[in-house]
Every structure is written in structure tokens, then in C-alpha cells.
Structure 1
Amino acid sequence: MRNRYLALLMAMAAMPAIGHAMQDAAPAAPAPAPATSTIQQLFEQSTQATEAADYPRALEILTALEGRVVRNPRSLAIVRVRKAMVLAELSRWVEARDLLNQAAPALPRDDASLSTDRYRAAYTLGRVSMGDLDYVGALAHFSAALAEAEGPAARIQALLGQAQAGTFVDPAEALKAAEAANVIAVADPKMFDKASLAHIDLIRGRALLNLGQFDPAEKLFARAVKQQGGLTTKVDFDDLVTRSDASIAAMLAGHRDTARNYLVYTGAGRMPQQDFTQGADMALPRCGEDGVQPDDYAVVEFGISDSGAVSYARPVYGSRPGPSALAFARAVRDWSWRPDDVKNIPALFRFVTRLELRCSTAEGGPSMLAGPTKALGDWLEARRVPGPVLDNVPMTRQRALLLQQAN
């Protein structure tokens, strides 16, 4: 019997970690859970809703449960960890982080029965840190999760988390973690399905790619493509990402025809209605800053929300091993488009797009908001009116705040 739980974990780990851009609008409060249910019933109902991916319902129940156990620190910490996991699935990452920072320290370290909850807290904090592009912090959280992991599925998940974060911290160590995950998986081939094995190969391949070992990486990506059903005309998120990885490795290995073939099967270039950069605010990192050198380049993957903000950004490949690719991802995280222009970009490409980027030799590669923001600030200062606080605010929200202040 194949491990369906691991397949779910692999899907969760493969999905992009969506960061601050998704915090623009406050979600509607869910209706309260039935007050007649016992604490145990609420706990069981929340577990069922989470396993069914009914995250709004799970959040509703866990919120009610949180209020019922508020006088029991141990139970409250357990409930808050599970609530934070649900918040993460709903892309409410800031709330998830804040809740975990309260709950994780409250889980007794000497209580063996809470090992799974400590694991969940550490792993979710790792995902949140990756969404923030804090890969050093993420690596520490995934290492803490590995120390609590019980069973092959949990160990593989934590090891792959280490590998994903470590690829842009220490790719050699990242490869060791990915290889360790693969050893566990191949030890029991009946336990893991092809999608899970393909996911492991992808993460192994990305570590090799960022170590400059292009031929071995290409072979792993090719095997992952085969495990996902081969080069068909079906293109979902997993297909697009895997074929794109294979194309990058093949191109870097000097196999240009193979690279183009993979690229054709991603559907790349099929956006006839508009130039992708039209109406976009796409500032690049400045050469010489944040460790980025003029010859550096990186491939960054990102998504675009309906509001025009970048919903997530993460590095895929850096021309120089180490953290330089993260500087490019941080720049992409602050990009934005006008909502009306976003509608003309096909949905799949709004969800996941990859671009090769180089640094800017201009004065900082400024955002289009830089000039208007300074002009408004000078105007407000002259009238002794306090300006809006824009630190750590997504670009689309900055525009709204500036317009509100100007009016």
C-alpha cells in the first residue's frame, strides 16, 4: 500500500511558499463552531477537516477550540500549532508565524507524546521562513523538525526541507540531505508513489544544478519528467516546474535541442495578448550590492496574485553557488502589475513563471514608485502632514496607501 500521507506531504512541500503579498486583504471571519461539541469532538472534527483540505472549516473549529482550552497551556499550545498549520495552508503566513512563535516554546520538550506537534511547529516555521526568503532561518527550523521526525515520511519531508533551503546556503550539504531522503525512499519502493519519487529527484537535481553538475542534474530531471507521465500536452504546476528544470539543466549542459524541446512542452511563450512587462514595476538588484556581482545571474520563479502583487518568489538557479540568487528573488518579491493588466496573463503563468535575471547597473534599478513616493513625501513634509509607513508593505498596498494619503 502506497503512502498517501507522504504524497500529501510532498504536495505541500512542492507548493510555493506564499509570503507577505497575500496579506493585503483581511479574510472574512468564519462562523463559530457548534458550542455543543465537546473538546475531543472539536479536535477530531478539526483533524477530519484538515485531512480533507477543508481549511476554512478547520480554522473555524480550531478557533473555537482555542477559546475552550485557553486555561490549559499544554492543550492551548497543541491547538495553536495546528491552527498555525491551517493558516499556512490558507497563505496567512504572518498570522501563522506569530501563532507559532507563541505556541512552539510552550510545548514541553520533555514530553515525548508531543514530538509530532514539535515537528509540525518546526516544519511550518521552516516553510514560513522560506516564504520570507530567510533560507538560513528555514534551514535551522527544518533541522529542528528532523530531530523530532518519527517515521520515514516525516524524515523525508524534513530532509527535503533542509535540501530546499540549503541549496542557496550550502548546496553541497543540501545535496547530502536530498540524497539521504532518497535512500529512505528507495529502501521501500512499495511505500512511495512515482509523484513522491519525482519530487525527491527534483530537489536532488536542483542541488546538483547549483553545484554546477549539469549533466547529472539533467538526468535526474529527465527521470522526474518520466515519473510524471512523460512529455505530454498536459501541463499542470508540477509538469511546468519539472520540464522547466530539465530545460535549464540541458541548456547549461550544452544540449540546446533537448532544452528547447523541454521548453516547448512547458507552453512557454504563449501569451499573445500582451507584453509580460507592460505596466509592470520590475526593479532589479543593483550590481555590487547584497553580494551580487556584475557577472551574476539567476533564474527566479514567482506567481502573481489577482491584485497584481507577487504572491511568492523563490530562486531556482544561481550562476554562483550560495546566497546571491536570493537577492534576485527578494527583488522579484517586490514587483507588481496593474490588476487590469494581470487579467491578460493566462492563469497558469500567473501562478508560476520563471525568468532569468541580471543585476542593474543603473542607480539602484529603482522602482517606478520611487519618484512619486519621494515627491509625495516632500509635499506632505512641507504641509507638516505625517506620511504613510511603507516599511514591509507590499507594493500594491503601498500604492493604495499613497493614494489614500494624497486624497
Structure 2
Amino acid sequence: MTNTALVSSMAIAIASVMAGGAAAQEAAPKPMTAQARFDAATAASEAGKCAEAVAQFESIEQLPVARREGFLKSAIAVRKGRCLARLGRGDEAEGLIRQGLPAMAAAGGSFDAERQQAHLTLAGLARARLDYDAAILDAEAALARSQGVGRLSPLLMLTTLTRFDGGGAAIGYAKEALALAQTGNADKKVLAQIQTQQARAMLNQGQAAAAYPLLKEALANQGGLTMQVGLAEVATRADLAVAASLLGKKEEAGKYLAYTGAGRIADAPFRSAASMDAPFCGETTGLKPEDVGVVEFAIGEDGSVLGVEPIYATGGRAGALAFAEAVTQWSWAPEQIKEVPLFYRAATRIEMRCTTGADDGGSVMEPLDDAVAAWLDGKVAAGVDPQVAAARQLPLWRAALANARAAGDQAGEFGASWWLATSQLVEEKERQAHLARAAALAAAMQAPASVRGRLALEAPEGAAKGPGSWRRQRRALLAEPRLAADPLTAATLRLQIAAPGYGSREPEDAEALLDAVIEEPALPAQHPLKIAALLRRANLSAKAGDLVTAQAQFQQTGLTEQQCALIGVKPALRDSGMSPSDYPVLARKMGFEGWVSLEFDVAADGSTVRPRALFAYPPFTFGDTAVAGAKDFKFETSYRPSGGTACAANRQGIAFALQ
């Protein structure tokens, strides 16, 4: 008896009990039996109509007989769980499937096929959350319950999950899958899918030379380099571009990349993410500075990242997953990402490396931001994290704002308004409205002076962008008595006014502004703003030739030469040294545009040290050019007693656009 027949026979018995004597009255319309309802739900599930199937399974669950422990309850749990997984409700799905599987196991081998599918669903859910250890266990359980061509799906799943591991297991799984598919006269596109996965495993095992011809076979099975493509064809071509790049075949890499559509998006919008962090190098991730990865992901309409998958990595499985985990936290502004065609959002690849530092030298606004956070501590609505900039937080904050307003909760409304006012995910017009409301609430609640100062310093609509006009705006704010009276706000403004910028030197009164911060009695001696002011003051003294004073000012900071200050002392870029002639010849020929985010240290003399391409789009296209160009960057000089490194892990973005 098949598993469907067994479930059906049990359901028939249940239906007969329910129907009772009413079955004899054929003239009266009969209600839909439990058997019919179960069959309809199963049919909807098998047809992929999961929303309908879940609703039907839930209606059956309300019946008294379905609430009792038994095989029917377990069968419903497994089938409903598989549908919930397809609907994106993974946590619910996994709980139900695991709840129902023991009864299916006890029922014997007739349920092996359904158990295989259940384990594959669980493996897919674990893979999606980057828990490859758990995914491998379920994929192996699925394989153990499979025969013949039924082994194809678990073999492909295991190929994907183990491709970063040594020992060649992934290649072995793929070879078995390919042999099964060829024996069963599988469609050419199925063969291409298996060949692509086998080649991808080879790339990660250092076998690019063997992977390259196999990927060409996969491409031929897909119909070659045609203009009609789906995501499977794009993946094979993108893998060919990676293999060709690793083999030094730049012309061929460019050709295959061109047929993916990468590098052809107007304005390269992916470069301006609201949040884009890299994993740290070191023991925690197992990554070394020289390790490189390629990660594929999709971007939802809300700007959040979906479907993250590591494609290639030199740091083994731990490194590959560290790269992928970092990408899961990236976000784009929804309004911006909607301008990107759906095809490009469905599968984007980024080349990336780990970061060697914590991006020292943050914004001078941080002490004021900390003041706002301290005042809000315990007042923000549950379920939202003020420190998280992910796009998935946007609807949560908007809901928190609406709830706070409805409840008359001024503190909750301020917290939500402030997050929305300072988020890069929010359009400017809406951002300004939230900023105005937050300022009004702060006044009504008699917020501390530093909180109200931080609100005043947030860039107003139409704020000047150039260094000169921006300084004038900051001077106007410092002239306001209420802002000048708050030590933290006044010190922040003075540091901003005194800072040099790209193409702009520090103002004539920079020394006086910095001395005012250093001498502010209301701030402790080792306050981050005072340390930042001392470092800048030491730079000015050194430029004037007064090295004795410069050394005394540096020693007053309490920093070692290897340390950067916590905030606001990154040297300003004086000259990038790059010109249109630096555009890569092949990229120009192929019509590619893209961007690179560089990371490097800055020496005390303003030169760059150890530049690396932290992120690059498209992969293996602009990174080498950007790194070579970074060696010619010139930053403002920084005083260090021994002339060593001024600051580590600096970031600089470079856009490559065809005019």
C-alpha cells in the first residue's frame, strides 16, 4: 500500500465514524467529509497551491478526531509544514515537520518518499539560514531514503552544502548525480544544472582548470550564449567568468560576464547601500586578509537581502559562511532599489574580503548620539533595535510610531521618529517630517540639552554640501546661545568647523576652535572629543614645524602610536591621483560599469599602506585597478612621533562609470 493510500484508508475510517447513520439518507445534501477535505488539501499541496492547502489543512485540524494524537495529525503536520516552507514561514514549517516525522518513520518504508521530501525541505530551510551542519544532516537523511533517480535532489543538495569542504565529497556527490541523470536520459537543462554544481565544487577545491571545460559543457546544454536567459543560465555564465578570471583568461571572463548582464545597470545603484559591512578577519571567522569570496543574493522590494548563498571562497566553509552571514545584514533604501530591474535584483554577485579593523575614526556625532540613546534607554517600543539599520526594521519602526501616537506615548513616538529621521532607508521628504516631529517632542518633554543639540545638528532639508557653505552653516549654529551653552554640542560643532575636507584646508581659526574643545572644563580629560581635538592640534603643530609641542599634544591623548582615536580623526583625502585613463581597457570595451570599496591604512606622511578591495561589483572586474590606483592616493599628513601608521582600516569608495 502506498503512503497516500494508507493515509486515505485511515481518513476513510475517520469519515465513516463522523458520518454515522446520516449516510443512509441519500436524498439530503452531505457535508464534505474529512476524507474529501484531506484529499483536497493534499491535491492543492501537490499542485503548489500552498495558501489554499494550508487553509484546508487548518480547517481539518479543528475537527475533534484530528486534534487527537495519531497518524492523521502527523501527516497533516508534515504536509502543511512543507507548504508553509514554500510560503516563507520557515520557523513554523520546521516545527511542524519535525513534529510529524516520527510517526511517519514508525509507519515503515511505504512513507520513505514523503520522508525524503520532508528532510529535503528541512535541509533547504537550514541552508537558507546558513546552518550548513544541520542542513547536511537532513540532506543525508533524505539521501538514505532515496533510490534511483530519486537520489538526484539530495545529491545536488549535498553537493551545494559540502563544496567548500576538503576531501572531494561534493565532487563525488555531483558525479553520482550526473551518472544517474545520464542513465535516465534526463533533459539537457537538468544535466547543465548538475554540471554547474559539480564545476562550482571544483572551483572551491582549487580545480579551476578542470571546472572550466565542464562549465562550457553546461553552457552548451543550456543552448549556448543566447540572449534568452533565466537565472540558471546566468549562474552558469557567471561561474564561467569566475573560472576564467582564476585562470587569467580575462577576455573570456569579460565575454561570459557580459552575457550575465552584470555591470550594465544604470548608475550602479548597488554601491550605495544604507548598510554594508564586511566580516572581520581573524580566529572568529577563520578568514585571512588575502581570502576572497563571491556571494550571490537577491534584494527584496523593501531593500532587505534575501536568498544569500556563498558561491566561491578561499577560506573554506567557515570563511564562506562568514562572508554570506555579513551579506544577510545589508540593506538598501526601498525607493532606490525599486529602480533596479527585477532581473538584476533576483541574483546579484559581489566580490568581498574580510576587514582588518573596526573602521576606527567614526563620526564626531557619536557622543551626541550616545546622549540620545542614553535618554531613550528603556523608552523605545519592544521588537525594534535602534542599533540595527536593516531594511526589515522599517515597517517595525513605522508600526511602533503609529502605536505610540495612538497610545499618547511621547517617548515611544520620539524614539521611532528619531530612528526614521536619521535612517538612510527613508526618503528625504519623509525624513524631514520625522525630524521636525522629533524636535517638537523633545521640546515638549524637556529633553536634555545634548539631545536637543543633536536634533539641531541633524542636516536640515536643502543643507549646503560644499565645505565652505557647510562651515558657515555650522558657525551659524554655534552662534545660537542655546547650542553654545551645551558643552557637548558646542565641542561637536567646533570639531566639525575645524576639520579639513577634500579640496579644502582647515579654517584660519582651527587652532582656536580645537583649543576651546581641549580646554572645555565640563568634559573629562580623556573625553573622545578632546582626544580628537588633541590629535588634530598635534597635526597642526607638526605642520608648523613645532615638533616638541606636537609630541606633547600627542602624549596628552594617552594613545599609543598604533591606535586611532575613537572618533573624528581620519586624515582627509587630498588627491586621488586617478583619471579617466585608469578605466580598465577590457571593462571599457565590454561596456562594464561598477564600483569598488577599498580598505587601507594611512601612513603619517599621507600615503596608503596595504590597499585591498573590500567589496567589488561586478566580481573580478575593477578590483585590481582600484587597488593600483589607491597606491597613489594622497591624504593630509598626520603627526606620529615615529612617523608610523596614522590610522588603520580606512574606507574609500571608487565608482567606475562610462561617460
Q: CA–CA distance in 1 between the matches of 2:342 and 2:392?
A: 22
Q: For residue 152 of structure 2, what is the aligned residue in structure 1?
A: 156
One of 261, 265, 269 as aligned partner of 1:275: 269
Q: CA–CA distance in 1 between the matches of 2:303 and 2:293?
A: 23
One of 127, 130, 134 as aligned partner of 1:130: 127
Q: CA–CA distance in 2 between the matches of 1:172 and 1:93?
A: 31
Q: How far does residue 81 in structure 1 lie from its aligned partner after superposition?
A: 1.1
Contact map agreement 1:377 1:387 (CA 8 A) in 2:
no
Q: How far does residue 127 in structure 1 lie from its aligned partner after superposition?
A: 0.3
Q: CA–CA distance in 1 between the matches of 2:62 and 2:389?
A: 32
Q: CA–CA distance in 2 between the matches of 1:366 and 1:94?
A: 40
* Alignment of structure 1 residues 1-400 onto 2, 5 Å: 36-68=31-63, 69-109=66-106, 111-149=108-146, 151-170=147-166, 172-189=168-185, 192-288=186-282, 289-363=284-358, 377-381=373-377, 384-385=378-379, 388-389=382-383, 395-400=390-395
Q: Return 170-179 or 357-366, whichever deviates more.
A: 357-366
Q: For residue 6 of structure 1, what is the aligned residue in structure 2?
A: none
AA matched with 1:215? A
AA matched with 2:48? A
Q: CA–CA distance in 2 between the matches of 1:145 and 1:65?
A: 28
Task: Mark the CA change 1:356 to 1:39 in structure 2 (over 3 Å): closer, same or farther.
Answer: same
Q: For residue 31 of structure 1, what is the aligned residue in structure 2?
A: none
Q: How far does residue 365 in structure 1 lie from its aligned partner after superposition?
A: 9.2
AA matched with 1:293? K
Task: Mark the CA change 1:269 to 1:122 in structure 2 (over 3 Å): closer, same or farther.
Answer: same
Task: Mark the CA change 1:235 to 1:37 in structure 2 (over 3 Å): closer, same or farther.
Answer: same
Q: How far does residue 148 in structure 1 lie from its aligned partner after superposition?
A: 1.3
Q: Return 91-100 or 134-143, whichever deviates more.
A: 91-100
Task: Mark the CA change 1:152 to 1:42 in structure 2 (over 3 Å): closer, same or farther.
Answer: farther
Q: How far does residue 335 in structure 1 lie from its aligned partner after superposition?
A: 0.6
Task: Mark the CA change 1:308 to 1:231 in structure 2 (over 3 Å): closer, same or farther.
Answer: same
Contact map agreement 2:166 2:205 (CA 8 A) in 1:
no
Task: Mark the CA change 1:274 to 1:252 in structure 2 (over 3 Å): closer, same or farther.
Answer: closer
Contact map agreement 1:388 1:401 (CA 8 A) in 2:
no
Task: Mark the CA change 1:374 to 1:243 in structure 2 (over 3 Å): closer, same or farther.
Answer: farther
Q: For residue 472 of structure 2, what is the aligned residue in structure 1?
A: none
Normalising by structure 1, report the TM-score: 0.82
Q: CA–CA distance in 1 between the matches of 2:347 and 2:195?
A: 20
Task: Mark the CA change 1:375 to 1:45 in structure 2 (over 3 Å): closer, same or farther.
Answer: farther
Q: How far does residue 400 in structure 1 lie from its aligned partner after superposition?
A: 4.6
Q: How far does residue 103 in structure 1 lie from its aligned partner after superposition?
A: 2.0
Q: How far does residue 171 in structure 1 lie from its aligned partner after superposition?
A: 6.1
Q: CA RMSD in A?
A: 2.8
The alignment partner of 1:356 has SS state of strand
Contact map agreement 2:286 2:315 (CA 8 A) in 1:
no
Q: CA–CA distance in 2 between the matches of 1:282 and 1:398?
A: 15
Contact map agreement 2:159 2:170 (CA 8 A) in 1:
yes
Task: Mark the CA change 1:80 to 1:360 in structure 2 (over 3 Å): closer, same or farther.
Answer: same
Q: For residue 542 of structure 2, what is the aligned residue in structure 1?
A: none
Q: CA–CA distance in 2 between the matches of 1:88 and 1:247?
A: 33
Task: Mark the CA change 1:334 to 1:42 in structure 2 (over 3 Å): closer, same or farther.
Answer: same
Q: Return 89-98 or 127-136, whichever deviates more.
A: 89-98
Contact map agreement 2:287 2:315 (CA 8 A) in 1:
no
Task: Mark the CA change 1:378 to 1:170 in structure 2 (over 3 Å): closer, same or farther.
Answer: farther
AA matched with 1:199? Q
Structure of higher RCO (CA pairs closer than 8 Å, 6+ residues apart): 1
AA matched with 1:217? A
Post-superposition CA distance 1:80-101 (Å, at most 9, x none): 1111111122222222122223
The alignment partner of 2:106 has SS state of coil
Percent identical among aligned pairs is 35
Contact map agreement 1:273 1:344 (CA 8 A) in 2:
no
Task: Mark the CA change 1:398 to 1:111 in structure 2 (over 3 Å): closer, same or farther.
Answer: same
Q: CA–CA distance in 2 between the matches of 1:176 and 1:365?
A: 45
Task: Mark the CA change 1:52 to 1:277 in structure 2 (over 3 Å): closer, same or farther.
Answer: same
Q: CA–CA distance in 2 between the matches of 1:394 and 1:53?
A: 35
Task: Mark the CA change 1:364 to 1:147 in structure 2 (over 3 Å): closer, same or farther.
Answer: farther
Q: CA–CA distance in 1 between the matches of 2:273 and 2:142?
A: 42
Q: CA–CA distance in 2 between the matches of 1:295 and 1:132?
A: 26
The alignment partner of 1:315 has SS state of strand
Query: Gapped runs of 5+ residues in structure 1?
Result: 1-34
Q: How far does residue 102 in structure 1 lie from its aligned partner after superposition?
A: 2.0
Q: How far does residue 224 in structure 1 lie from its aligned partner after superposition?
A: 1.3
Contact map agreement 2:293 2:351 (CA 8 A) in 1:
yes
Q: CA–CA distance in 1 between the matches of 2:233 and 2:361?
A: 35
Q: How far does residue 345 in structure 1 lie from its aligned partner after superposition?
A: 1.1
Q: How far does residue 51 in structure 1 lie from its aligned partner after superposition?
A: 3.5
Q: How many residues align?
A: 367
Contact map agreement 1:171 1:207 (CA 8 A) in 2:
no
AA matched with 2:182? V
Q: CA–CA distance in 2 between the matches of 1:279 and 1:332?
A: 11
Q: How far does residue 395 in structure 1 lie from its aligned partner after superposition?
A: 2.2
Query: Gapped runs of 5+ residues in structure 2?
Result: 1-29, 401-411, 417-659
Q: Return 317-326 or 291-300, whichever deviates more.
A: 317-326
The alignment partner of 2:270 has SS state of coil
The alignment partner of 1:281 has SS state of coil
Q: CA–CA distance in 1 between the matches of 2:273 and 2:122?
A: 35
Contact map agreement 2:222 2:233 (CA 8 A) in 1:
yes
Q: How far does residue 121 in structure 1 lie from its aligned partner after superposition?
A: 1.9
